[in-house]
Structure 1
C-alpha cells in the first residue's frame, strides 16, 4: 500500500520466495491459494481473541510487560523460522523494516493500554480510525466528506453517549487518548507493512521489524515483565502462557495481513489502491472485536456504542467502495 498520490506508478513485482528466501510459488506456501478477504477475516478473529486473552495477563505482568514479552516471543519464533539476511540490504529497505517495527511496537502498546481502560469493542473502533484515514487519504470526491462525517458521528455515539465504560460509566479520557494514538500507529503500520512485504522475501522483513519492535518496547516493558515473572509462583507457566498468546497476537495476524497485502499487490490494483481495498477488508474488525469482547470477556455494549461501531464500519466500507473508480 502506498501513501503517494494517484500518479504513482505500479509497484515492482513481489518476490516469489518462501520464509527462508528459497524460491516458492508466488501465491502458494503454507496458506495455499486462500484469497485476501479470507486471510483478513482470519486475522481479525485471531487478533481480537488474542487481545481478549492478553488482558488476563495484565494483572501478573502489567500492560507494558505483557506487550513486551509478546513481541519478544513472536520475534524469537520468526527469527528462528526465517533466519533473515541483512547483508546487501539497502538503507532504505532496513529503514522500512525499522519503521514497521516501531509502528507495530507503538500500536501494540497503545492498544493494550486502551483495552486496559476501555471495553474491547470500543477500543478497536477507536483504533480503526487509522485504517479509515488511510481509506480516505486518496479521496478526490467531495462526497467522501459524508463518510468522514458518518465516522465522526459513530465515534461521538461510541464515546459520548450511553456510558460506554465499565458498568455504564463514562469512558476513561486517558483510554480515549490511548485509542487515538493507537489509530495513528495503525495507519503507519498499514503503510509500512506493504513496503516491507514488497522488498523482503517471505517473512524476513516481518522478523526484522518485530525484533526492532521488541527492542523499542524494552525500555518500557522489560522491568515490568521481569518483576512479574520473578514474583510469580509459576514463572515458567506464565512465560509459556504469554508465548501462546503471542502466537495469537501479534504473530499469526501479522503474517496473515502481510500475505493478504501481497496478494492485493499481485493483482491488478494500482499502487494507491492497496490501502483502500485492505481497509475495507478490515472494516468489520470493530464488530468482531465487540463480539469477542462479549463472548470472552463478558463486555456488553449499549445501543449507542453498537450504533457507533456500525457507523464507523459503514463509513470505512463506503469510503473504500466509492474510491474504487476514482
Structure 2
C-alpha cells in the first residue's frame, strides 16, 4: 500500500482514544503505542489459549469480538449516520480482515505453540513493509526474517501440525490487510469510531460461526469473564493503540515493528503456558527480531518524519 502524501493536510480530528484519554495514550508516542499494543495482544493471546478447552478456538474468537464490540460501542458511541458508501465499505473490509485474522490465528495456536505461530504470522506484515517501502535495503531485512522462518522450519516444521502452519500463514495475510484498512479507517473516522463500528460488524459476522462451534458453552459465566478479559487485552487496548499510531507512523514502519511480536509471543507462551523454546526456535525468532531492528534503523537513518494524515473524505 502507499502512505498518504507528505503534502496532504493534517487531519481535522485530533487522535483520541476510547475513554477520553488521548493525552495519556498520546504521551506514549507512536512507537510506544505499537509496542504496548504488542505486549497486550500477545499476553491476551496466551490467556485465550487457556480458554480454548472451554469454548474452542472459534468460540474464543466470538467472545473476544463480541465483548470488544460492546466496550467500544458504549465508550465511543459512534455516529451511524453521515458516512459515505466508501466509509462503510472501508469499515466492512476492515471488519472482515479483523475477523479473519483472529479466527485463523486462534485456529493456529490451537494446533501449534504460540511463538512459532506468531513467527509465521508476521510474514504478512513483513511482506507489506517491502511492498510499501519499495527500497532494496528493506528487502534485505525481509530476507533475513525469511531466513529465520526457514530456520524455524528446518528445526521443527516436521513437528508442527501442517494445518496449524497453514492457518498461521493465512492469519499473516489477513494481518497485512488489517494494517492497510486500519490506516484507512483511522483517516475516515474521528477518534476510534471506525474501530468501534468495524468491531461490531466483525462480531456480527462471526457470531453464527461461534454459536455453531461452541453452542451453550459461550454462556458459561467463567467463560464469559475470561473471554471479556481476552477482549480487553487482545482487542480493545492494542487495536486502539495501533489505530492511533497509524495516524502518526508510516504504514511500512508499523508493519516492520510487528516483527517484534514473535519474541513477545514466545515470552508470553513461556510465562503463561509453559511453552519453552528449543535453541533452534530461539535462534529463528532472534533473526526475525534482528530484521525488525535493522529495518527500523533504516527508517530512522533516513530521517523520515511521520507522514501527515489527510482529513477524512466526505
Interval of TM-score (by shorter of Structure 1 and Structure 2): 0.7 to 0.9
Residue 189 of structure 1 is matched in structure 2 by 178
Residues 1:155 and 2:168 are matched in the alignment:
no
TM-score (norm 2): 0.88
RMSD of aligned Cα (Å): 2.4
Give the structure 2 partner of residue 46 of structure 1.
Answer: 40
Higher helix share: 2
Between the aligned partners of 1:46 and 1:73, the Cα distance in structure 2 is 16
Give the match for residue 251 of structure 2.
275
Which residue in 1 is equivalent to 2:282?
306
Q: Does 1:74 align with 2:50?
A: no
**Given the alignment, which residue of 300, 315, 318 partners 2:294?**
318
Q: Which runs of 5+ in 2 are unaligned?
A: 305-314
Residues 73-152 of structure 1: pairs in structure 2 closer than 5 A = 73-152=67-146
Q: What 5-or-longer segments of structure 1 have no aligned partner? A: 265-273
2:239 is aligned, of 251, 254, 259, to 254
SS at match of 2:159: coil
1:134 to 1:155, Cα distance in 2 relative to 1, 3 A: same
CA contact (8 A) 1:96 1:192 kept: yes
Rounded Cα–Cα distance in structure 2 between residues aligned with 1:248 and 1:137 = 30
Which of 170, 178, 194 aligns to 1:205? It is 194
Indicate how the Cα distance of structure 1 residues 220 and 12 shifts in structure 2: closer, same or farther if over 3 A, else same: farther
The equivalent residue for 2:307 is none
Question: Do the aligned residues in 2 keep the contact of 1:69 with 1:225 (CA within 8 Å)?
Answer: no
Q: How many residues align?
A: 301
How far residue 175 of structure 1 moved from its aligned partner, in angstroms, is 0.7
In the alignment, the residues of structure 1 paired with residue 209 and residue 114 of structure 2 have an alpha-carbon distance, to the nearest angstrom, of: 23
Equivalent position of 2:311 in the other structure: none
Residues 190 and 229 (structure 1), Cα distance of their counterparts in 2 relative to 1, 3 Å cut: closer
Query: Equivalent residue of 1:84, what SS?
Result: coil
8 Å Cα contact 1:279/1:320 also seen in 2? no
Q: What is aligned with 2:310? A: none
| Alpha-carbon separation, structure 2, partners of 1:135 and 1:32 | 24
Contact 1:65 1:225 in 2 (8 A): yes
Cα distance, 1:5 vs structure 2: 7.6
Write the distance in 2 (CA, Å) between the matches of 1:11 and 1:94. 23
Residue in 2 that maps onto 1:267: none
TM-score by length of 1: 0.85
